[in-house]
Amino acid sequence: MRSDTNFINNEFFHSDKAELVSVFNPANGSQVATVQAATEDDVLHAIKSATLAQKAWRKLTSTERAQYLHRLADKLKTQSPMIGKALADESGKSLEDATNEAVYAGEITRYHAEWARRIEGEIIPSDTPSENLLLQREPIGVVACLIPFNFPVYTLLRKIAPALITGNTVIIRPSNNTPCSAFEIAKAVQLAGFPAGVINIMTMSHATAEMVCTHPNVGMITLTGSVGAGRKVLEYSQVNIAKSSLELGGKTPAIIEADADLKKAAREIAASKTTHCGQLCTAVERVYVQESVYEEFITLLKAEFNAREFGDRSLNPSVMGPLINESARINIHQMVARAIDDGAKLEIGGYIPEGAGHFYPPTLLTNCRQDMEIVQEEIFGPVLPILTYKTSDEALELANDHQFGLASVIYTENYRTAMKVANNIEAGEIYINRTPADPYQGYHAGWKRSGLGGDDGKHGMLEFTQTRLVVLNY
């Protein structure tokens, strides 16, 4: 069993006063690690280190900062077997998927390194003839990065790479469910030769996380998490008016038109719903099927769900893995039970398996209504409610009738229908004839309660900057 300490000022810092956090493998319930939880002294040490380091880090040219990021991308690739092993043990992912996540994290790091020569300001015409207005982009300072459990390696680099290239330093809180992979990343940071204090990684309680987020030296908080966590971050940000970037809940609707390739749609939606046991922010969470093809599509989707087995992916990588913990499994099962009590029909799944591990079977619910909890609230598991519609206008209205607006999907061969939905969907992303995958050169940003700001691409990089207007009179 491994034991980890927090990474502060470029070294692993042991504290005699720290409480221990236990980390468990969700596939079999075995304890895989103990991790020291940051003390208040650790937090102050990290904030002081990040603050001092940022003064020098921001003065480097962006191309110099990019060299560090390129080296980190190289080390993430070479260290991917170790990062992947830690991630697989704490998350229940297959070793291959976990290792590939580390490799992909290296690629998004390299992508953001390439912004070095493209962080642009503006020259704006002035009303005064002998005057220029220069708008500069500057770093914010110290950024608190709050990382989720579902894709903790990729999301960690998704947050810190744009923060670092723009001249910020970071304090990272990985999920207490999946902290070990973050400390393997810290080893890659050391190997890449980053200056002390630029990257700090700590396991934290809610109290110490609040201490970080409300400290006056922390200028920005970036989170991927639940709406509840987002509300808490907004409370924290009020203390010092820190900038917040929030990627929150999702309830991706998938619209299946009568002219869609139904086999393709069923196959891809089933894969979306069962990848990492449905624990994806953009996984399809509700399906609207044109009533003329409903029976055919349900038959295809049931076959796809029936073909998905679940189990320990360290023993059989081809099966669907577990939910992150028992609390998640109980919550999901209770949602399914309430949906059935409210009139939904259980087509497949919907039970708690016997034995070790937090497994839940692929579950399909039909005869659902728009006002049901199972349609209105994020499930974050392998459960899929199905509804029908008559016209594409009705489907669009149902898709938009929601508190969330992160991603959306439509399957159709009619480009007019596709463009009508694309131009009117109330979501930050729409995927046409495919399921979501968050291209890192795009912009992953939610509408409504799905968040503020966003990640990826040019606009995600610029989230980590603030502006200065220089009024130059000559």
Q: Is 246 helix (H, G, I), strand (E, B) or coil?
A: strand
Q: Is 175 helix (H, G, I), strand (E, B) or coil?
A: coil
Strand boundaries in 71-194, DSSP class E:
122-125, 131-139, 142-146, 169-173
Radius of gyration of the chain (CA): 23
The β-bridge relationship of strands 243-247 and 218-224 is parallel
Distance, in Å, from the CA atom of 329 to the CA atom of 357, rounded to the nearest integer, reads: 10
* Cβ partners under 8 Å of residue 67, min gap 6: none
If you write DSSP's letter for every residue of 349-382 in order, what string do you get?
Answer: --SPPSSSS-----EEEES--TTSHHHHS---SS
Q: How many other C-beta atoms can be found within 10 angstroms of the C-beta atom of residue 97?
A: 17
Closest by CA position to 77, among listed 185, 233, 218: 185
Closest by CA position to 10, among listed 199, 266, 188, 172: 199
Six-digit token string for 238: 């009020």
Distance, in Å, from the CA atom of 195 to the CA atom of 237, rounded to the nearest integer, reads: 28
The β-bridge relationship of strands 122-125 and 6-8 is unpaired
Is 116 in contact with 62 (CB distance < 8 Å)? yes
Distance, in Å, from the CA atom of 399 to the CA atom of 468, rounded to the nearest integer, reads: 40
Distance, in Å, from the CA atom of 143 to the CA atom of 455, rounded to the nearest integer, reads: 14
If you write DSSP's letter for every residue of 61-72 in order, what string do you get?
Answer: -HHHHHHHHHHH
Closest by CA position to 325, among listed 32, 23, 102, 19: 23
Residue 203 DSSP symbol: B
Told to judge if 145 belongs to the known catalytic residues of this protein, a careful annotator would answer: no
In this structure, what are the phi and psi dihedrals at residue 53, rounded to the nearest 5 degrees? -65, -35
Is 366 in contact with 350 (CB distance < 8 Å)? no
Distance, in Å, from the CA atom of 275 to the CA atom of 273, rounded to the nearest integer, reads: 6
Told to judge if 304 belongs to the known catalytic residues of this protein, a careful annotator would answer: no
Choice among 180, 213, 281, 368 that is catalytic: 281
Choice among 90, 101, 184, 247 that is catalytic: 247
Place of tokens 């400390």: 183
The β-bridge relationship of strands 243-247 and 451-452 is antiparallel
Distance, in Å, from the CA atom of 211 to the CA atom of 199, rounded to the nearest integer, reads: 18
By annotation, the residues acting in catalysis are 247, 281
